[in-house]
Chain A
Amino acid sequence: MMNCKEATALMSKQMDHPLILTERISLKFHLMMCSGCHNFNQHMHDLRDITQTYAKGKDQPEAKEIQRDPD
């Protein structure tokens, strides 16, 4: 059974490489049961969006199409 430390390493890895099937399945299973890791996974994508906006002109968020979370 995968723990959170292992799951977070895989979530970072999948930002750079496709995971193999067994990794994908065990990660998916872990994420269904762990809200902390579920949030962490979203944060990996948020970090990418934030970083890409960062150097483009920090006070100009309209330079990029911003997807707002409706909730």
Chain B
Amino acid sequence: MTQHDTTEHSLAAPAFLTELRLQMIKFANLQLQDQSLAEDAVQEALLAALKNAQAFNRRSALKTWVFAILKNKIADLLRKNVRYVSTDKLKGGQDMSDEELFDNLFNDKGRWHVQERPGKWKQPYTDMENSHFWRVFDVCLNCMPEKYGRLFMMREFLELSTSEICSNEDISVSSLNVTLYRARLRLRECLENRWFQKEATA
């Protein structure tokens, strides 16, 4: 370990690593639904990344890379078709049923209720620099039924193909389509209500 590594801004700074590890475990746990398996995957990904930490002069570059490693590890575990999650666990509690959600969004002709019609999201990417935005995103992700959040992240973050997800989860394509649709509908609605509308009226 060189002198350079121990400076406040180095990649090996304890506070930076602790924070990074927590973010990774949270993410891995959402996917694997198993705390110890998640911790193992994170540990391996971090070790692999830190071996080459010298190659990264910016923390953001290391983060991107370490998450890429983690993402592959999780995808491998999921591909091995080891199912760690009991189906009961997937039901997930939710304050609003899908039927209620649809009734809230659409009228009996299947058109948007006027007050629910999606508005323009002004420069959504600017908000990504705002840590409060990510807290809102966390809340929205976590208040979906567990299965919705998990399948959504498999598709959108792990970028697994729909056929891979279907065979891992032993579900049909149409059932996956329905789940992803409901997950996107809920996530979009939650972000609009809790973030974008507030921004617009602020």
A residues apposed to B, CB below 8 Å: 3-6, 8-9, 12-13, 15-17, 35-37, 39-40, 42-44, 46-64, 66-69
Q: Is the CB of B180 within 8 A of A39?
A: no
On chain B, the residues within 8 Å of A40 by CB distance are 118, 188
Contact among B123, B157, B180 with A54 in the assembled complex (CB-CB below 8 Å): B157
Count how many chain B residues have C-beta atoms less than 8 Å from C-beta atoms of the other chain.
Answer: 48
A50-B137, A55-B27, A63-B64 given; A69·B123 CB < 8 A: yes
Specify the chain A residue showing the minimal Cβ separation from B63. A57
Contact among A12, A49, A51, A66 with B177 in the assembled complex (CB-CB below 8 Å): A12
Proximity bits, B159-193, A CB within 8 Å = 1, else 0: 00010000000000000110011001101100110
A48-B156, A54-B157, A58-B134 given; A67·B125 CB < 8 A: yes
Q: Is the CB of B106 within 8 A of A61?
A: no
CB contacts under 8 Å to A, within B123-151, are: 123-126, 128-129, 131, 134, 137
In the bound complex, what is the Cα–Cα distance between A60 and B173 (angstroms)? Answer: 35
Q: Is the CB of B156 within 8 A of A51?
A: yes
Contact among A50, A62, A68, A69 with B60 in the assembled complex (CB-CB below 8 Å): A62
In the bound complex, what is the Cα–Cα distance between A5 and B99 (angstroms)? Answer: 12
Min distance, Cβ B154 to any Cβ of chain A, angstroms:
11
CB contacts under 8 Å to A, within B57-106, are: 59-61, 63-64, 67, 71, 102, 105-106
In the bound complex, what is the Cα–Cα distance between A50 and B121 (angstroms)? Answer: 12
Q: Is the CB of A12 within 8 A of B23?
A: no
Q: Is the CB of A47 within 8 A of B156?
A: yes
Specify the chain A residue showing the minimal Cβ separation from B165. A16
Min distance, Cβ B93 to any Cβ of chain A, angstroms:
23
23 A-B pairs in the complex with CB atoms less than 8 angstroms apart = A5-B102, A5-B110, A8-B185, A12-B177, A12-B181, A13-B181, A39-B119, A39-B120, A40-B188, A43-B188, A47-B156, A51-B153, A51-B156, A53-B128, A55-B23, A55-B67, A56-B63, A57-B64, A59-B131, A62-B60, A63-B64, A66-B125, A69-B124
